[in-house]
Structure formats: structure tokens, C-alpha cells
Amino acid sequence: MIPHRQGDGPGRIVVPVALEGRAYDIHIGRHLLCEAVARLGALAPGARAAIVTDAHVAALHAPALEACLQQVGVAATRITIAPGEGSKSYAGLIELCEALLAAKIERNDLVIALGGGVVGDLAGFAAAVLRRGVRLVQIPTSLLAQVDSSVGGKTGINSPHGKNLIGAFHQPVLVIADTSLLDTLSAREFRAGYAEVVKYGLIDDAGFFDWCESNWRRIIDGGPERDHAVAVACRAKAAIVARDEREEGDRALLNLGHTFAHALERLTGYDSTRLVHGEAVAIGLALAFRFSQKLGLCPGQDAVRVARHLDAVGLPSTLRQAPGGTGTADEIVAAMAQDKKVRRGVLTFILARGIGRSFIAHGVAADEVRAFLEEELAAG
């Protein structure tokens, strides 16, 4: 195994997303907002912009973004939505689209998503359907959004049947990951986002997982390790998206832990005060490795190591630790039935043969999942 080393020095990091005809860059670094926004003048000369944000993020970051846009001559309208997963709904989508139309946003203008995953998913979907496609800029303000939801073009809203079941692929024209914006996150939100960081090591980069075990405190503190972690995650996702933009193949690997996670979120009513997405993902990651161990695929020491690392960071790793509680094994399996990876009613999971050795497992028997969940719930 080649140990993972921090290769990104101080300053700006640019990660290209190589999609033919729709390529774009991810700009990563501290205090780079105005510097990166200056590119919009060249990308969209004469364009208007609508800044879509939530009430919490607007108070923290919208004035600075508006000042940056004013410097490059981009006229902007601010549209503020309610924080939380409740905004990712049919009603929320209609309300946002009507606000964008009222702001006279045209095809060659810009929708700027300033916020976490909820804002990015909702604003991205609105940009995808408004006038059959408006240009999108992602400025993620949470760690989770910087390393996951802002990259790759997945947009959408939730349904009572499940999470992100209504949506579209709509690639941004630019992603600005200003890591200094993460300084305003609560400890809970930052740790939740960390689950999506360490996921990349568990998928196919054991060296990065090793590095995370040694450096997670520095990632939280905001030094160059934070920029490096975001860059590694973005490069990994960009490479997978370039190979499989529409999740017809190995892009599904990015859903490691998410089949469990989305079921838990559905059972808690997508209430982020009860269960934050990253907390559900952390539980899902630990479950995926223990389920792989139960099936005889993964060494037990790797499953234990994953759980211990999540515990050390302050993330839940068992069903009993879910902040919002959970349902029965039958209820969890039923919630999984609407997972996007289900094919003809048969469950698909991302499982692991060890740390950094994840794979797509088709046709997993529901009875095996149910028996595993019953053991997990009984174990406490």
C-alpha cells in the first residue's frame, strides 16, 4: 500500500471535471470567493444572476457574494428559501421557479446556489427545468456539499416515497469551494460532512483513509489539510463522473452507505433536527462494512476500524446511535424498496472486500438484509 501524502500546497487548487462539451472547474481554497467569481464575467458576459440561498446562509455569506458580483458587473437578485430538507419538495420547487421567473432569469443568465446540499439540489433542479435549462453555479457552504452534492450534476427534490427521487442531471458551469466558508459551520454539521470525505477512502483509496485517521483533527481546524481533503474528494468524484455521468456504472460506488442512510432519513421524515444527512451516511458506512463482514466478504478488523474512526470523530456508527431514532428491521427494509439502485424490485448495495475495496453488489436478498438489521438493533 502506498501511503497517502498531502500534495496540495497553500493557495488555490483547481480540479477539472472533464465532460465533453460540459467541462467545468472546481476552485478550492480559503478566501477565494471574489477571485473565483471574477471568472463569471468571462463565462457569462452581460448576464444577470439569481442567488438562491437559505435564511441562515444568507445572513452569513450573501452580502459578501453580492459585493463580489457587483465588482464584476453582474446584477444579482437574492432568493431566500427556508432552511432544511422540507424545502426540497414539489411546493418548494414551484415557489423557487416562480421566483426565478419573476426575477426575469433567462437561459443565458445564472442561477447561483449558495448553501449546503439542500440549496444546491433544489436550485440545481430549478435551473435544469427553468426555460429548459439555465446555467448553474455552485457555491457550497457546507463540507458535505463541497465534497459531494455540488459536483457531478445530480439535482432533485424529495418525495414521500423517498429521497431525491425526482430530479435531473444538470452540470454546473463552475463550482467555488471556498473552504473558509466552512468556519461558520456548527461542530455537528462539520462532522456530518466529514462522513462524505472519509467515504472516498473507503471506496477505493485506502491510503487516503490512513491519512484521514491521522489528520481528521487538522481538517476540522481548517489548515491546509482541509483544502487537501476537499481536493482529494473532488478529484475522486470528478474522475468517476467523467467515466459515468448518469450513474449507469461505477458512479453508483459513490453511494457507499447511502442505501442504509436514505432509509433512515425517510423514517425520520427528512427532519435534519433529528438526523443530519452525514450522520445517516456515517451509520450507513459502518453498516455497509459490518454487513459485508457478515456476508464473509470483508475482514472483521476492517469493519471495526471503520466504526472506531467514525466514533473517534464523534459520528454515530450504530442504529442505536441515530439521533432521531430508527424503525424496526422490517420498516428499514421497506424504506429501502424505493432506493434509486433498486432494479426490478431487487436491492443493490455497495459492499466492501476491505477498506478501499468497495464494489457494486446486485441482487442482495431482502431476507439477508432484514436478518442483519435485526442483529444490529438487538446489539444496541
Residues 43 and 161 occupy one common structural domain: yes
Residues 225 and 287 occupy one common structural domain: no
Note whether 223 and 10 are within 8 A (CB): no
pLDDT tens track for 303-312:
999 999 999 9
Pick the last residue of a domain from 217, 248, 279: 248
Pick the last residue of a domain from 230, 248, 266: 248
User: Does 269 score more than 90 pLDDT?
Assistant: no
Residues 9 and 100 occupy one common structural domain: yes
**Domain total of the chain:** 2
Residues 203 and 227 occupy one common structural domain: yes
Q: Which of 30, 88, 135, 262 is catalytic?
A: 262
- CATH number of the domain enclosing 9: 3.40.50.1970
Three-state SS at 150:
coil
164 an active-site residue? Answer: no
Residues 209 and 111 occupy one common structural domain: yes
31 an active-site residue? Answer: no
- What's the domain range around 13? 1-248
**What pTM, to 2 d.p., does this model score?**
0.92
Question: In whole numbers, what is the pLDDT of the chain averaged over residues?
Answer: 93
For residue 380, the model assigns a pLDDT of 62
Q: How confident is the model at residue 6 (pLDDT cuts 50, 70, 90)?
A: low
255 an active-site residue? Answer: yes
Residues 205 and 140 occupy one common structural domain: yes
- CATH number of the domain enclosing 352: 1.20.1090.10
Residues 122 and 23 occupy one common structural domain: yes
Residues 231 and 322 occupy one common structural domain: no
Residues 50 and 175 occupy one common structural domain: yes
66 an active-site residue? Answer: no
pLDDT tens track for 156-188:
999 988 889 999 999 999 999 999 999 999 999
Note whether 46 and 188 are within 8 A (CB): no
Could you give the C-alpha distances from 139 to 55, 144, 165, 190, 213, in angstroms and in order? 15, 12, 23, 16, 28
Residues 196 and 332 occupy one common structural domain: no
The rounded distance, in Å, linking the Cα atoms of 272 and 279 is: 10
Q: Which of 191, 228, 255, 340 is catalytic?
A: 255
pLDDT tens track for 41-79:
888 888 999 999 999 999 999 999 999 999 999 999 999
251 an active-site residue? Answer: yes
Q: Which of 61, 154, 290, 340 is catalytic?
A: 154
277 an active-site residue? Answer: yes
Pick the last residue of a domain from 214, 248, 282: 248
Better-scored residue on pLDDT, 313 or 9: 313
Q: Which of 27, 199, 237, 341 is catalytic?
A: 237
Residues 121 and 8 occupy one common structural domain: yes
Q: Which of 251, 290, 309, 341 is catalytic?
A: 251
Q: Which of 258, 266, 309, 341 is catalytic?
A: 258
Instruction: Please calculate the CA angle 195-198-204 and round it to the nearest 5 degrees.
Output: 135
For the stretch 40-43, contacts whose Cβ atoms lie closer than 8 Å and that sit 24 or more positions apart, written own/partner, are: 40/69, 40/72, 40/74, 40/110, 40/137, 40/174, 41/72, 41/73, 41/74, 43/135, 43/173, 43/174
Residues 220 and 334 occupy one common structural domain: no
